Amino acid sequence: MIKNQFSIFESELNVRPDDIDMFNHVHNSKYLDYVLAARYEQMDKYYGMSWESFAEMGYGWVVTKVTISFKRALLMGDVMLIRTGIIEMNEKGCTAQFEIINKKTGKLASDGLFDYAMIDLSTKKACKVTEEMIKKYSI
């Protein structure tokens, strides 16, 4: 279950046919891409500081750790709701939790945690998250 430290936001996404693997369900690694797609949308839509805003300032967000559980398979044609929320954010980065819900059944397909660090796009090295960024994302 999602711990409500900060706001939880929701994105809707369709399974794309090329996401399907030899088991005729969504391939496990694609769930990481779904969470990225949801965060990308939510950064722009809800936090008022989009992926592109960071890029223009010379920053990017990279994943440093993922813990993900696969509960129920998503299938061809399925629509999912991806709920994510920050549970911790400081100058070193942030941790976001997520849940992927099968829209048709309302059941949990996958959940877990992503740790992110911010990098300088020119050096590709980790750099400090500023107070202003932390404030914008602590909603």
- Binding flags for its own copies, 94-133, as an x/- string (CB under 8 A): -------------------------x-x--x---------
Let me know: does 77 contact 102? Beta carbons within 8 Å. no
Nearer to its own copies, 32 or 138 (CB): 32
Nearer to its own copies, 29 or 90 (CB): 29
Q: Cβ contacts of residue 89 below 8 Å, gap of 6+?
A: 6, 95, 129, 134, 137, 138
Let me know: does 83 contact 128? Beta carbons within 8 Å. no
The Cα 135–Cα 111 span in angstroms is 26
Instruction: Compute the least distance from the CB of residue 3 to its own copies, in Å.
Output: 18
Interface with its own copies (CB under 8 A), residue total: 38
Q: Which of residues 21-80 bind its own copies (CB under 8 A)?
A: 21-25, 27-30, 32-33, 36-37, 40, 44, 51-52, 60, 62-70, 73, 76-77
The three state secondary structure string of 6-32 is: CCEEEEEEECCHHHECCCCCECCCHHH
Residues forming the site for its own copies (CB under 8 A) = 14, 16-18, 20-25, 27-30, 32-33, 36-37, 40, 44, 51-52, 60, 62-70, 73, 76-77, 119, 121, 124
